[in-house]
Chain A
Amino acid sequence: MHARVGLAMERGSLLWGSVLIALLSAGMLVTVVGMLIVVGDLGCSTDFIGSRCAGLVEQFAPWENIAQGLTGLLWVLPTGLGALLGVGITAGEIERRSAQVSWTLAASRTRWLLVRAVPVALALFLILTVAAGFAEMVARGRLMTDDAGFHDYQLRSLLVPARGLLAFTIGLGVGAVIGRTMPALLVAVVFSAASTYGLLVLIDAWHLAAAFFVRMDDPLLNSGIYPLVASSSAGPGPDPQGLLLIPPSEYWVWVLREGGLLTLASLGAALIALGVVQRRSP
Chain B
Amino acid sequence: MGALRMAWKLQRWEITTLAAVGAVLAVTLLAVGWRMESVQASAPDCWQTDVDAVLPQSAVNECAQAYAEHDAARTIGSMAGAGVVLLPFVLGVVLGTPVVAREIEARTASIAWSVSRSRGRWLALRTLPILAFVVLGIAVIGLSSLTLQRQLTGGEVGFGSLIPQLPVLLARGLLALAVGLVAGTLLGRTLPAVLASAVFLIAISIGLSIGLDVWMSAEAKPIAELDGTSSKVYNSGLRDDATGELINLDAFLAREDADDMLEIPPPGMTMVHWQIPGSEYPVWMAREAGVTGGLAIVAGVAFVLTALRRRP
List residues of A whose CB falls within 8 A of some B CB. Answer: 12-13, 15-17, 19-20, 23-24, 27, 51-52, 54-56, 58-59, 73, 80-81, 84, 87-88, 92, 96, 178, 180-183, 185-187, 190
Contact = CB atoms under 8 A, between A and B. Distances in A.
Nearest to B105: A96
A180 B191 CA distance: 11
A23 B189 CA distance: 22
Contact of A84 (B14, B191, B250, B251): B191
Looking at chain A's contact residues, the main secondary structure is helix
B253 A88 contact: no
A20 B202 contact: yes
B18 A13 contact: no
B249 A186 contact: no
A58 B259 contact: no
B57 interface: no
A16 B199 contact: yes
Given A23-B199, A55-B254, A186 B21 contact: yes
B194 A20 contact: no
Count chain B CB atoms within 10 A of each CB in A16, A19, A59 and give the residue with the most: A16
Count chain A CB atoms within 10 A of each CB in B11, B13, B14, B206 and give the residue with the most: B13
B191 A88 contact: yes
B250 A182 contact: no
Contacts of B98: 182
A258 B21 CA distance: 29
B259 A51 contact: yes
B198 interface: yes
B306 interface: no
B250 A59 contact: yes
Smallest CB-CB A-B distances: 7 pairs: A12-B192, A16-B195, A183-B13, A55-B250, A55-B253, A186-B17, A88-B191
Given A19-B199, A27-B206, A182 B253 contact: no
A242 B17 CA distance: 46
B191 A51 contact: no
Count chain B CB atoms within 10 A of each CB in A13, A52, A187 and give the residue with the most: A13
Given A19-B199, A20-B199, A186 B191 contact: no
Interface in B227-248: 235-236
